[in-house]
Structures are given as structure tokens and as C-alpha cells.
Structure 1
């Protein structure tokens, strides 16, 4: 596990991030040019080495209900990679690809499913019935594609 100082050094190497000291020695890093209301890329980096990176709209990362991934045991290369992806996901050029909280999916029989992000999971609903839960947007959309549904 990287130390707090090592993680700070890596995160500080991203000039687009602005350090914001918060309580109990913890640190946040903001991306002020974010195309979204969300600006925090690194959240609650703690002197014990624990911390989180915002990954809601990227990859197959396990996230909490806020869209954050724990980076406690990340290596240097993994930490750099996740931060690069997080910044990219918030960048104005990526804004067109931002995933909404809810999406309607329709098949050729006019059946409709709702894909929604709730409590860190992507849930597929048929009416009020839960049809499936997925850890990532990618997994959920692959399921819907395989079932013959398209965004509608």
C-alpha cells in the first residue's frame, strides 16, 4: 500500500487538480474545469492512506452510493490510471458521454425497461419489478443489448 505522502505526490502530479484541505488531516482534490456539477476527483484522502476516487461514469469499478471507489490498496500505476479516467470523465470533451441517472430501453415488441443508478448499483426495472442489478453501467447495458433492448 502506498503511504499518504506517496499518494499525495502522485495526485499532485496532476496539474488540473486543486488541493483542498479538510478536517482531520484529510484532503480532497477538485477538478475545477469539470463539465458537471461534480468537481471532486479525490475524496477524503486520509493520513492512514485511505481515500476515494470518483468513478461513477467510468469502467468496471466497484463504487459506493456516491460513485466513489476506494483506493486504499492501489499501486502507483493503478492510482494514476484511475485518476486519469476520473478527470477524463468530468472533462468538457467527455460531457456528451455522461451517463444519466435513468434511461429507458425498448425492444422490438415495444416492451420498456428502465435502467437506473441507485445506491451504487445499476438496476433494471420492468415496471416496478427489479429485473437485474449490476455493478457497472457497462455490465447493465451489455445485459440489455443481449436481451434485445435499445436506448429509447
Structure 2
């Protein structure tokens, strides 16, 4: 495991990040060049080595509902990649979307069908022509559909 100091050296090698001290000796690192309201790339880096990196809904990372992934056990290579991906997400509108999907059909075991449609900035789920759910990311919508027993149809 990298120490707090080693993580700081890695993080501070990205000149586009700005250090912000927060409570309990923790620090955040902001990307002021973000195209979005979201600016925090590194959240609550703690002297014990714990902390989080914003990775959005990139599927190659396990993240919480805020798009954060824990970096306690991250290697130098992993940490550098996460930070680069995070800056990329915040600085490029489309570059880091893994798959552009406009519409998908999902079915459950009873044959019920739902459509997942990307409209403007939302992922909307429709039953027939009725809006059932709206989600801010594909990952959230996919998680909802899977939890409700639906699978992506091959239609």
C-alpha cells in the first residue's frame, strides 16, 4: 500500500489539480478546468492512506453512487490511471463514454418489456409509452433494471 505521502507525490504530479485542505488532516484535490459543476478528483485523502477518486460511471472501476472509488490499496499505476480518467471525464464531454447507446430493449422472465432510452442527459426507462424511471447515468439505469429482474434483450 502506498503511503499518504507517496499518494500526494503522485497526485501532485498532475499540475492541473489544486490541493484543498479539509477537516481531520484530510485533503481534496480539485480540477478547476472541469466543464461541469463537479470539480473534486481526489476526495478526503487521509494520512492513513485512505481516500477516493472520482471515476464517474466508468465500468472498469467499482464505484459508489457518487462515482467515487476507494484508493486505499491502489498501486501507483492504478492511481495514475484513475486520476487521468477522472480528469478526462471532467474535461471532455464525450471522450470517456464507454459505449454510446441510444435505445435498448430489456425483458424479464415473464416477457415484460422495458425500453431504456438516452434522452438529453438522462437515461429514461419506458413501459410502452409511459415513463417509468429516469436516471442520471447508464450505470444507474442498468443497476435498476437488473435489480428488477430485467435482462438486455437480443431484439
Q: Are 1:114 and 1:124, in contact at CA under 8 Å, matched by a contact in 2?
A: no
Q: Distance in 1 between matches of 2:70 and 2:142?
A: 25
In the alignment, what sits opposite 2:54? 54
TM-score normalised by L of structure 1:
0.71
In the alignment, what sits opposite 2:2? 2
Correspondence list, 1:58-97, <5 A: 58-91=58-91, 94-96=92-94
Q: Which runs of 5+ in 2 are unaligned?
A: 98-119
Q: Distance in 1 between matches of 2:133 and 2:140?
A: 10
Tell me how far 1:104 sits from its aligned partner.
2.8
Q: Distance in 2 between matches of 1:78 and 1:63?
A: 14
Q: Distance in 2 between matches of 1:10 and 1:40?
A: 16
Q: Which of these residues, 145, 151, 154, is aligned with residue 131 of structure 1? A: 145
Q: Distance in 1 between matches of 2:141 and 2:94?
A: 22
Q: Is 2:8 the counterpart of 1:11?
A: no
Structure 1: 4+ residue segments shifted above 6 A: 98-101, 109-113
Give the secondary structure class of the aligned counterpart of 1:23: coil
Q: Are 2:21 and 2:27, in contact at CA under 8 Å, matched by a contact in 1?
A: yes
In the alignment, what sits opposite 2:135? 116
Higher relative contact order (CA 8 A, sep 6+): 1
In the alignment, what sits opposite 2:124? 104
More helix by share: 1
Aligned length, in residue pairs: 130
Taking only aligned residues, the RMSD between alpha carbons, in angstroms, comes to 3.2
Q: Which runs of 5+ in 1 are unaligned?
A: 134-142
Tell me how far 1:123 sits from its aligned partner.
3.3
Tell me how far 1:12 sits from its aligned partner.
0.3
